[in-house]
Structure 1
């Protein structure tokens, strides 16, 4: 997208106080795909794909054309996106979602702005964005490999720290089945108030689930696999896990987002986490 087109989307969004805009276009079988936007909508372009019928806010927008909410606390709007204020507008077969703390949810301009946004937005993800996404994955792999000269414990901590940093998470933990019953952790502003044994007990269900492949819980309040001290009441809003080794033979890598910066995990987040898990498996086996 040209800088002029980007500026236009930002100007349109600013009319109603939106800092995030998502343009979700239809693809096969009722799926919606984020192709463009503002703020997180731009940053996550190409990395949000979801079934509209499975997302209450989007499903209501399709049926009613306009859905808004204005809450005192952030809530999940759709997929990985959380916001305190949001509006979802159906524009023909596309859904435009606005979000931000200063969004004017009662504005009479929301519908017209959504139509203008759709008209100005891209119809596909720009190639430079796809290239940047791949570069992010490659960099995550390289960062993990930097710990090759460290001992096993330090490698595990480095692996957790690499995941937390790459995904902007407040907490990450590496559980190694044969190495230690105590998880190796990296905290970036949040840590569970619990013993190591309690944290391990909360990690084990995620390890069991991740043995079949990556696990993503966009809203832990709705999950039966996330328990205290990594649960909703502890401040966690979303969680993800990937196996270390074939079917998690070596262990599991777990990352969480909290209420400090509430959000979930995009397709790119999952790809980055998988790449870190694969590189971490190699690192820990060396």
Structure 2
């Protein structure tokens, strides 16, 4: 299997500040799906922009399909769905598809693109009438319009309902079957598990492969319970001695594998406000795992 992207000893800093990336080495193979994670500010966007040729590294070498990433060769063979601010409001979906296809030498046939991204029901709608999930499907179609060998998908399922997310997942699997290389950023571990062949972790300027997905998945399945209260941390720990607790002022966060039991105890024994319950995000699961290892 040939390599789609090779980064050797990549470093990057803005205006002689502390390096965001430091002697980073990374190889992405053709035909694989990768998911990248890391804490906010780790440099994920910077790394992607270097691979897209939008930024030049301070030092090191970048090869995309054997060429410089900013070359015309790569621009015709690399697609990117980034977090776009928007598109002209009164333009129709089918007009966008025709326009972006015209920018490429060998675009994907429109019928196949429409089918792949499930756009048929709203081709005649203008951008301002699309839902968040429909806009995400359109952005993905724009990224795929040139029939690229490498595709960057930045938070592609944001704003999508369950059905749309499943259709997106099927589209990514189809890209893999076509021997495309996909680099995916997501906050949903179940999405990364379902789609990625490899998880990449960016931390302190370095990029490493995460081999213990099951361990991270077990951590991720924990829930976080957040609330405000005037009670003391000692009172809470005395009542619930086995909880994983973090306190900042009157802000309480509990991490637990038994959210129903903990909630019942909290509501029966204490006066709490601003209650919030949710699964841990992908970054939170990763950071929780790394902190547990370093403790």
Place the TM-score, normalised by the shorter chain, in its bin.
Answer: under 0.3
TM (norm. structure 1) is 0.24
- Higher helix proportion (structure 1 or 2): 1
TM (norm. structure 2) is 0.23
- Name which structure has the greater RCO, CA cutoff 8 Å, separation 6+: 2
Larger radius of gyration: 2
